[in-house]
Amino acid sequence: MLDPLFRQALQEALGRYPTPFYAYDWGRVAAQVARLREAFPFARLFYALKANPRLGLLRRLRALGLGAEAVSVGEVLRAYWAGFPPEGVVWNGPVKTEEALAAVRERSPVVVLDSEGDLKRVARHLPGARVLLRVNPDLPVRTHGHLATGRGESQFGVLPEAVPRLVRLAQEKGLHFLGLHLHLGSALEEAGDFLQGYRVLEALYPQVGPVAVLDLGGGFGLRLDLKALAGPLEALARLYGAEVWLEPGRYLVAEAGILVVRVVGVKATRRRYLLLDGGMTSLLRPALYGARHPVLPLYPREGREAGVFDLAGPACEAGDVLARDVPLPVPEEGEALAFLEAGAYGASMALTYLDTPRPLELLWTGEGWEVLREREPLEGLWEGE
Ligand SMILES: Cc1ncc(COP(=O)(O)O)c(C=O)c1O
């Protein structure tokens, strides 16, 4: 649930700013950092920019001592712009083009090698770069298929049997091999999935260890039992004599953020709809992988009739429904709703489809509202054409 002060400040924001907008509670992000640090006091944290890359968040996370994890050259350069040093940035991803590699030649981040071809390109363009090798643990991983990067059929990393040869190859090519990388997927709620992943690395130790770094990725679901991971994770690190790096995204920012929309109208076809001024272009997760976001009415409940609604955005797409069968007090036109747990992979996935500007993003600092990103101007949408 939302912090009462944040909840109160939202009413003020509704009077000042156009909807739809994202609002984030900085106190909640800082609290999540503290929770992860408490669970894994021995680990270095690298915030996964893809969850939410706003500079105002990045600068604050850097000030708390986090590094950054990037999955494109754009994110690497954004992290530098936010003040992260190259040694505090980890660059992941299966495709790193020659153009992208050339762009970081003068200031190379720590690069995660994702295949033999990737290794050779990195060695050519970034000689002597500090690298990790990403292991695809070939595990079932219980999460939505789009999010399960640790399955053997995904395009990520190298299978365990290829790891020892590629570690040698990286060293022969003059790369500075730091250690292994493992990222199982996103929104993982079962500690057992992580433990299986750690076992795969344990089995590789005789051929690969010791190493300086084990980067064990992100993927921590909001309801995951972190305590169940800490012991096995520390034991794995001890076995390898390695420092542990983690790359949380969702865990740090998801609950801190909400998408605020206004009700434009009520409509009935064979189903009963609330029509909203924001939809899938602002929050793609429901359409992309059936994600469910709790809905909170930001209007009075007292004296209202109860209804059950599907919540539809403005796009001419039957799939532009942010939630179905939501029990709500019947709103009046112009009243606002919030989609909760939208701070991760919400704004960062927003689209300009249908010439829809990406929404305004606001940060509640505890003392006031800060604009993290203006709503895109309409004219910006056809610039460059
Ligand atoms: C390599 C890598 N690291 C970290 C993350 C962050 O994941 P999450 O936001 O689930 O913590 C991702 C997300 O997909 C990723 O691909």
DSSP result, 34-56:
HHHHHH-TTEEEEEEGGG---HH
With b for 16 or more beta-carbon neighbours within 10 A and e for fewer, the 46-83 pattern comes to bbbbbbbbbebbbebbbeeebbbbbbbbebbbbbbebe
Binned at pLDDT 50, 70 and 90, residue 149 comes out as confident
Cα distance between residue 49 and residue 67, in whole Å: 10
What is the number of the ligand 1 atom nearest to the C-alpha of 251? Answer: 11
Pocket perturbation via mutation, ligand 1, pick of 71, 134, 146, 216 by most ligand atoms within 8 A of CB: 71
Could you tell me where the beta strands, DSSP code E, fall in 166-280? 176-181, 213-215, 243-246, 257-268, 272-276
Average pLDDT over residues 256-269: 97
From the number of C-beta atoms within 10 Å of its C-beta (0-12, 13-18, 19+), residue 226 rates as: middle
Q: Which domains does the chain have, with CATH numbers?
A: 4-23+254-373 (2.40.37.10), 27-253 (3.20.20.10)
More confident residue, 143 or 210: 210
Taking Cα atoms as reference points, which of 87, 98, 91, 59 lies closest to residue 75?
91
What is the number of the ligand 1 atom nearest to the C-alpha of 250? Answer: 9
> Is ligand 1 within 6 A of the CB of residue 217?
yes
What is the number of the ligand 1 atom nearest to the C-alpha of 134? Answer: 1
Taking Cα atoms as reference points, which of 312, 302, 324 lies closest to residue 282?
312
What is the number of the ligand 1 atom nearest to the C-alpha of 220? Answer: 11
> Is ligand 1 within 6 A of the CB of residue 62?
no
* Residues assigned a catalytic role: 316
Alpha helices in 17-97 (DSSP H): 26-39, 55-63, 73-81
Determine if residue 285 is labeled as part of a ligand binding site.
yes
Determine if residue 250 is labeled as part of a ligand binding site.
yes
Taking Cα atoms as reference points, which of 354, 350, 221, 337 lies closest to residue 288?
350
Q: What is the pLDDT of residue 105?
A: 97
What is the number of the ligand 1 atom nearest to the C-alpha of 185? Answer: 14
> Is ligand 1 within 6 A of the CB of residue 32?
no
The model's pTM is: 0.97
**DSSP run (H or E) holding 116:** helix 116-125
Pocket perturbation via mutation, ligand 1, pick of 155, 247, 252, 253 by most ligand atoms within 8 A of CB: 247
CA distances from 157 to 52, 115, 166, 241, 245 (A): 24, 6, 11, 23, 17
* 136 has a pLDDT exceeding 90: yes
Name residue 296's beta-bridge partners: 338
| Contact predicate 360/22, CB 8 Å | yes
> Is ligand 1 within 6 A of the CB of residue 249?
yes
* 143 has a pLDDT exceeding 80: no
Instruction: Tell me, in angstroms, the distance from the centre of ligand 1 to residue 324's CA.
Output: 28
Instruction: Tell me, in angstroms, the distance from the centre of ligand 1 to residue 189's CA.
Output: 14
Binned at pLDDT 50, 70 and 90, residue 323 comes out as very high
| Contact predicate 256/24, CB 8 Å | yes
> Is ligand 1 within 6 A of the CB of residue 251?
yes
> Is ligand 1 within 6 A of the CB of residue 348?
no
Binned at pLDDT 50, 70 and 90, residue 1 comes out as confident
**DSSP run (H or E) holding 11:** helix 4-16
* 142 has a pLDDT exceeding 80: no
Protein residue with least CA distance to atom 4, ligand 1:
218
Residue with tokens 């992941």: 92
Instruction: Tell me, in angstroms, the distance from the centre of ligand 1 to residue 242's CA.
Output: 21
Amino acid in position 176: H
The mean pLDDT value of the chain amounts to 96
Instruction: Tell me, in angstroms, the distance from the centre of ligand 1 to residue 307's CA.
Output: 37
Amino acid in position 292: R
Q: pLDDT per residue over 66-121, tens digit each?
A: 999 999 999 999 999 999 999 999 999 999 999 999 999 999 999 999 999 999 99
Nearest-10 crossing angle of helices 163-172, 116-125: 10
Instruction: Tell me, in angstroms, the distance from the centre of ligand 1 to residue 218's CA.
Output: 5
